[in-house]
Amino acid sequence: MPALSQVSESQASVPADVPELTISRLIDAPRDLVFDAFSAPGRLANWWGPTGFTLTTHEMTFAPEGVWRFIMHGPDGRDYNNKIVFREIVRPERISYVHPGDDGAEPVRMDVTVSFVEEEGKTRLTLRMRFGTIAERDRIDGEYGAAEGGRQTLARLDAFVAATGEQAFVISRTFDAPRALLWKALTEPDRMAKWWGPKGFPIAAAKMDFRVGGSYLYGMKIPDGGVMWGRFIYREIAEPLRIVAVVSFSDENGGLGRHPMSPTWPLEMLTVFSLETEGQRTKLTIRSLPIDATDEERATFAAGMESMKQGWGGTLDQLAEYLASR
């Protein structure tokens, strides 16, 4: 078996003396995006199951002890009833669940752990299925094609997140400043207020709770005298390398809001801030893409790439001026 760090496509391991199957794939997408593909029926319907299968979800609670009941429809017309009970959900690192094989579901009992490891901006996804006995593992692999089906499922997941990733907006800038200073500029509200936002839209109010699950709520003064609100919900913090947040428009109370000038703009954006040292300088890369967006919202986002480039360009100009003044 090749080391997992060397696997670049879906590969499965069937050890001779352990009752488990292990499947791994390196996916060219941010870890948060890959993790989110597991978290809602609308996303799962795009990729769950081997090639040719479709999915119908009857109920899903994506939380520890939550239940997911679904039917996998095979290309031969056969329906496979399934029930999953989630045991552990650690965003964006790990999901574990049990397939108990009861309540009319397929007679398959296995414990599954899905792990997500960041590798230079990509995601190493490993699916480990553990069975009661080696004989049971071999039965399930023989009757259901578990190993090959798992490989095909991860290939479909890869294709799904790749298609989503095509809509990503990416901008980079290298600053004449140490990474520690740039990190502070991104994570301290008093510093953020000096540069955040388009030119001519100064910060009027801000409140930051910088932790995983915390938020940054800010209001920007707009030329007509009003205030436009926005928020971050922090998903991942890896000091001093990376910040992952869900970014959206908001209201003064921190509620989810629509773009005040574009009603078909995506409600939420997954945004990754990556910091790389280049000698005495620091490169900041911002990657942003819609999540849970409709076709119309994705089209609006794609059409707005040039305006985003201009807006972010002005914001990064202000960041450069702030860093130069420190």
What's the structural domain count of the chain?
A: 2
Q: Phi and psi of 186, rounded to 5°? A: -90, -15
Q: Are residues 247 and 150 in the same domain?
A: no
> Is 80 exceeded by the pLDDT of residue 6?
no
More confident residue, 197 or 186: 186
Q: Are residues 302 and 228 in the same domain?
A: yes
- Give the pLDDT score at 87: 97
Q: What is the pLDDT of residues 77-113, one digit of tens each?
A: 999 999 999 999 998 899 999 999 898 889 999 999 9
Q: Are residues 93 and 193 in the same domain?
A: no
Q: Are residues 14 and 104 in the same domain?
A: yes
Q: Are residues 53 and 87 in the same domain?
A: yes
- Give the pLDDT score at 165: 66
Half-sphere exposure of 222 (CA within 13 A, CB side): 10
Pick the last residue of a domain from 131, 165, 199.
165
Range of the domain at 129: 4-165
Q: What is the pLDDT of residues 241-276, one digit of tens each?
A: 889 899 999 999 999 999 988 999 999 998 989 999
Q: Are residues 218 and 72 in the same domain?
A: no
Mean local confidence (pLDDT), 306-317: 92
Q: Are residues 260 and 312 in the same domain?
A: yes
How far apart are the C-alpha atoms of 221 and 227, rounded to whole Å?
Answer: 5
Pick the last residue of a domain from 165, 183, 201.
165
Q: pLDDT category, 14, cuts 50, 70, 90?
A: low
Q: Are residues 182 and 319 in the same domain?
A: yes
DSSP annotation string for 220-268: EE-TTS-EEEEEEEEEEEETTTEEEEEEEEE-TT--EE--TT-TTS-SE
How far apart are the C-alpha atoms of 188 and 190, rounded to whole Å?
Answer: 6
> Is 80 exceeded by the pLDDT of residue 15?
no
Helix (H, G, I), strand (E, B) or coil at 277: strand
> Is 90 exceeded by the pLDDT of residue 40?
no
Mean local confidence (pLDDT), 127-133: 96
Mean pLDDT of the chain: 90
How far apart are the C-alpha atoms of 154 and 159, rounded to whole Å?
Answer: 9
Distant-in-sequence, close-in-space partners of 300: CB < 8 Å, separation ≥ 6: 262, 264, 265, 266
Q: Are residues 57 and 160 in the same domain?
A: yes
Mean local confidence (pLDDT), 57-73: 96
Q: pLDDT category, 235, cuts 50, 70, 90?
A: confident
> Is 70 exceeded by the pLDDT of residue 174?
yes
CATH code of residue 299: 3.30.530.20
Q: Are the C-beta atoms of 317 and 199 separated by less than 8 Å?
A: yes
Pick the last residue of a domain from 137, 165, 193.
165
Q: Are residues 210 and 273 in the same domain?
A: yes
- Joined together, the tokens standing for residue 270 give 């997954």
Q: Are residues 173 and 313 in the same domain?
A: yes
> Is 60 exceeded by the pLDDT of residue 1?
no
> Is 90 exceeded by the pLDDT of residue 126?
yes
Mean local confidence (pLDDT), 37-49: 91
Q: Are the C-beta atoms of 268 and 290 separated by less than 8 Å?
A: yes
- Give the pLDDT score at 166: 64
Q: Are residues 67 and 24 in the same domain?
A: yes
DSSP annotation string for 69-120: EEEEE-TTS-EEEEEEEEEEEETTTEEEEEE---TTS-S--EEEEEEEEEET
> Is 60 exceeded by the pLDDT of residue 10?
yes
- Give the pLDDT score at 65: 96
- Give the pLDDT score at 163: 74
Q: What is the pLDDT of residues 140-172, one digit of tens each?
A: 999 999 999 999 999 999 988 887 766 788 899
